[in-house]
Structure 1
Amino acid sequence: MVPPMYRQRKNENGETPQNLFVKNHVTLVSKGEDWMTNYMLVATLIATIVFAAAFTLPGGYNQNTGIPFFHNEPSLIIFVISDVVSLISASTSILIFLSILTSCYVDEDFMESLPEKLMFGITTLFLSITTMMVAFSASFFVLYDKKLKWVPVVVTCLAGMPVMLFAKMQFRFLVDVFSFTYRSRYLFKPKELCLTRQLREWK
């Protein structure tokens, strides 16, 4: 990030800011690929789990009619909806991280394209984890709603822990990415430069 008037300036080695960035971001590309692979692996595991869960509803099916035993239970409806949302979110996250991995990684991509994809990919991954935990908790309400009601309540409280942990670990990172992507473009606004010149003249 440099003021517009300095974009064509050269340092003591004869390099412009853009030349220096292109030279130094080679390591960033390799590290970013490994980083994205880890995110995509998590999203793939979640998609696999919720896809299998969609065909193994809690309580099972009636062998004669093929209708789930608890099809009238609100908890089962919540389970199905949460599972579908989790699958779609995980699949979306996989596609986003895959598009990042297959990117050309030119310097212009680091301005907006890659940070936007990264933020959207992590957001959909968080949504997938959250809805997966909701589906997990709803399955216990289906099975233990009539008896041992304390079991699904305890499970729901425990299921919220990984969601809060993920949110805590990634929130600050998302704020930094958003700040560097969008707020930095207003760092050297012409109005601010004019105001600075006027203050200097008054002094």
Structure 2
Amino acid sequence: MAARAGIVEVVTEILTVYPQAIDHINRKGQNVLHVAIMHRQYKVYDKLKDKDEAKRLVRGIDNHGCTILHRAADTKFYHGGTRPTPALKLQQEFIWFEQVKAQMPPHFIMHINRKGKTADQLFKDMHREQLKAAQHWVKNTSQSCSTVAVLVATVVFTAAYTAPGGFLQTDGRPILLDKPLYSFFTVMDVAGLASSLTSVVVFLSILTSSLEFGDFHHRLPRNLSLGFTFLFFSVTSTMLTFTATILLLVHLQTKWTASLTYAATFLPIGVFALFQFPLYYQYFMAAVKSILDFLRKNLPGNWDFLEIKDD
């Protein structure tokens, strides 16, 4: 009951007072790992998997012929996870499944239950509706972000040919070219154009991808993180370009007018960051975790200190 409810303190106290309780089997032939994994009790699983006794529990097979990996694929008691979007929810399920698989003996991974399914086959069957929801969300989000990125690119591209103050009639040079802020205006304009077009390319690559199960494990969250990063930077660069234009054209004589201008400039950036940062943070951490997992698996030496725990 404690493992099913996810009460780590009770599980710890029971195992401290009576360690033999870890071998308890319920009427369905399930041990404590079956129950904790089936009910997505991540903290209980983390508490139990490092115990020496857990090495024999991972070999347990219940009355339905299911290993603990089958229970990690089962969504009967799945209630949506802890991530905010369908794509991240599916990724969390992938990571959970792979964590359990890493604890399994290799020959148990291909074990077939009484319905004739391996754990991998069961995972795909049980997550098909979740995959459809994640595909729909990714397509809509990528299309919307691509539209915004194209609009930003159009604005900054137009600004490059309408220099603040106009051009000289003699040689066509910008009138305010010698002003220090004009260089800042140019740099921000180019940065906004480059980042917005890069964001478009990233989101188009997402739209043209197959969006299959494997894509949601690492590649799609990483690409979405890159797309959101470039889009946020393009919006920021566009507002800074607008600021430089205002300061070049309007000579602000008082501090309060300058402060008001700065506040108006950074208001859209602040609102954008306020509403989008939680989502961006989730995808950024997912991308960082995938990179660190790659380093841990492919570089020699002990890189366990790079591990980031899931919620």
Shorter-normalised TM range: 0.7 to 0.9
Q: Check if 1:89 corresponds to 2:164.
A: no
Contact 1:9 1:17 in 2 (8 A): no
| 1:164 aligned to which of 267, 270, 277 | 270
Report deviation, 1:151.
4.4
Please name the residue that 1:80 is paired with. 186
Please name the residue that 1:129 is paired with. 235
Structure 1 residues 177 and 41, CA gap change in structure 2 (3 angstroms): same
Distance 2:237 2:158 in 1: 15
Gaps of 5+ in 2: 1-95, 294-311
Larger radius of gyration: 2
> Counterpart of 1:16 in 2: which secondary structure?
helix
Report deviation, 1:9.
6.9
Q: Check if 1:154 corresponds to 2:260.
A: yes
Q: Check if 1:60 corresponds to 2:180.
A: no
Superposition map of 1:24-63 within 5 A: 24-63=130-169
Report deviation, 1:114.
0.7
Distance 1:61 1:24 in 2: 57
Gaps of 5+ in 1: 187-203
Contact 2:167 2:173 in 1 (8 A): yes
Deviations 1:29-73 (A, max 9, x none): 123211111111100000000000000011000111211111110
Please name the residue that 1:18 is paired with. 124
Contact 2:188 2:240 in 1 (8 A): yes
Structure 1 residues 25 and 45, CA gap change in structure 2 (3 angstroms): same
If asked which structure has higher relative contact order (CA below 8 Å, sep 6+), I would say: 1
Distance 2:112 2:147 in 1: 42
What residue identity is the alignment partner of 2:273?
Answer: A
> Counterpart of 2:127 in 1: which secondary structure?
helix
Please name the residue that 2:280 is paired with. 174
TM-score by length of 1: 0.81
Distance 2:144 2:170 in 1: 44
Please name the residue that 1:143 is paired with. 249
Distance 1:10 1:132 in 2: 57
Question: What number of residue pairs does the alignment pair up?
Answer: 187
Report deviation, 1:159.
1.2
What residue identity is the alignment partner of 2:130?
Answer: N
TM-score by length of 2: 0.54
What residue identity is the alignment partner of 2:186?
Answer: V
Distance 1:130 1:9 in 2: 53
Deviations 1:128-176 (A, max 9, x none): 0111111100001111136577545422211101111211222211222
Report deviation, 1:177.
2.4
Distance 1:22 1:8 in 2: 21
Contact 2:225 2:287 in 1 (8 A): no
Report deviation, 1:17.
1.8
> Counterpart of 1:136 in 2: which secondary structure?
helix
What residue identity is the alignment partner of 1:50?
Answer: V
Distance 1:7 1:43 in 2: 44
Identical counterparts, % of pairs: 31
Please name the residue that 1:101 is paired with. 207
Report deviation, 1:27.
2.7
> Counterpart of 1:25 in 2: which secondary structure?
helix
Contact 2:252 2:258 in 1 (8 A): no
Q: Identify the structure with the greater helix proportion.
A: 1
CA RMSD of aligned residues (A): 2.7
Report deviation, 1:117.
0.6
